[in-house]
Amino acid sequence: MKKHGFLVAVAVVLVVLSVALYLVHYAIFRDAHHIFIYMVGDLGFLPLEVLLVALIIDRVLERREKQAMLGKMNMVVGVFFSEMGTRLLRELLPAFDRSQMVAGLGVKNDWGANDFRRATEFADHLRPQADCRAIDLEALKGFLSSERDLILRLLENPNLMEHERFTDMLWAVSHLAEELEARPKLDDLPQSDEAHIGQDIGRAFTALVAEWLDYVQHLKAHYPYLFSLVLRTHPLQEKPSATVTAGS
């Protein structure tokens, strides 16, 4: 109510000021004809002026809103990888050709936009079949079960509506967790069931690495100190270590 009264007061002051200026103009030049010519011209252009200003303001507000949304989304993605995403990447990696993954996805300190683009294209074309026997499915099951609440909280985040690929990745990880939870025992599985779980692991892994690349590129551009830690510890390299060396 106070805000409405303030706007009315401002409008009244502006109208009074405009009338006063026209009166000053008439008192000096005594030319009402000139005043009304320009008044009608200004009024004729006013709708177009309002339209142009409204479009510009709308674009500016839309851009600011999108930037704010992307900032919140990047925070959500950062929480995911800090809490479980990077570890999940490390847990799933042995099920694939490690040398191939390191060669195509191993982020380095000197990577630029073209390097990240090539890595993203590499990730988008991955259709790997995981070797379930190369990883501890029981340990993976326990890890995903312990992080179920985090996955559900992230899926409930309304900002995810603007990030479909990240949502799809969460669903792929959630489905893998459900598949593992549905089996009371994960040893001595028939070959057909191993192949089925391998497809689920491959789907989750390809979605995970694509999001991870975007996350790391964002850190390199905006948070170099966080990028430095990720660069030293990410699993897609031969000898990950948090220890800072002369060449790191």
Other beta carbons within 10 angstroms of residue 166's beta carbon come to: 22
115 and 216 both lie in a single domain: yes
Q: Where are the beta strands (DSSP E) in the chain?
A: none
Residue 73 lies inside a defined structural domain of this protein:
yes
Residue 30, phi-psi category: left (phi > 0), alpha (psi -120 to 50), beta (remainder): left
SS3 223: coil
Does the pLDDT of residue 71 top 70, yes or no?
A: no
144 and 54 both lie in a single domain: no
Residue 19 lies inside a defined structural domain of this protein:
yes
SS3 124: helix
156 and 101 both lie in a single domain: yes
Residue 128 lies inside a defined structural domain of this protein:
yes
135 and 223 both lie in a single domain: yes
8 and 44 both lie in a single domain: yes
Residue 245 lies inside a defined structural domain of this protein:
no
Q: Which of these ranges, 48-57, 168-177, 228-237, has the smallest mean pLDDT?
A: 48-57
19 and 113 both lie in a single domain: no
Long-range contacts of 49-58 (CB under 8 A, 24+ apart): none
Domain extent at residue 13: 2-60
Residue 247 lies inside a defined structural domain of this protein:
no
**pLDDT given at position 9:** 80
Q: How many domains does the chain have?
A: 2
* % residues pLDDT > 70 (the chain): 87
Q: What are the tokens at 44?
A: 């004729």
228 and 160 both lie in a single domain: yes
- Tens of pLDDT, residues 178-207: 999 999 888 888 999 999 999 999 999 999
106 and 155 both lie in a single domain: yes
**pLDDT given at position 35:** 66
Residue 108 lies inside a defined structural domain of this protein:
yes
Confidence of residue 127 (pLDDT cuts 50, 70, 90): confident
Residue 6 lies inside a defined structural domain of this protein:
yes
109 and 211 both lie in a single domain: yes
Residue 208 lies inside a defined structural domain of this protein:
yes
Last residue of one domain, picked from the residues 35, 60, 85: 60
d(CA 212, CA 200) in angstroms, rounded, equals 18
Q: What are the tokens at 135?
A: 């990883």
81 and 42 both lie in a single domain: no
Last residue of one domain, picked from the residues 60, 79, 110: 60
Confidence of residue 32 (pLDDT cuts 50, 70, 90): confident
218 and 159 both lie in a single domain: yes
Mean pLDDT of 173-177: 95
Average pLDDT, the chain: 84
**pLDDT given at position 1:** 54
**pLDDT given at position 84:** 93
Burial tier of 218 (Cβ tally within 10 Å: 0-12, 13-18, 19+): middle
50 and 135 both lie in a single domain: no
Q: Which residue has the higher pLDDT, 142 or 1?
A: 142
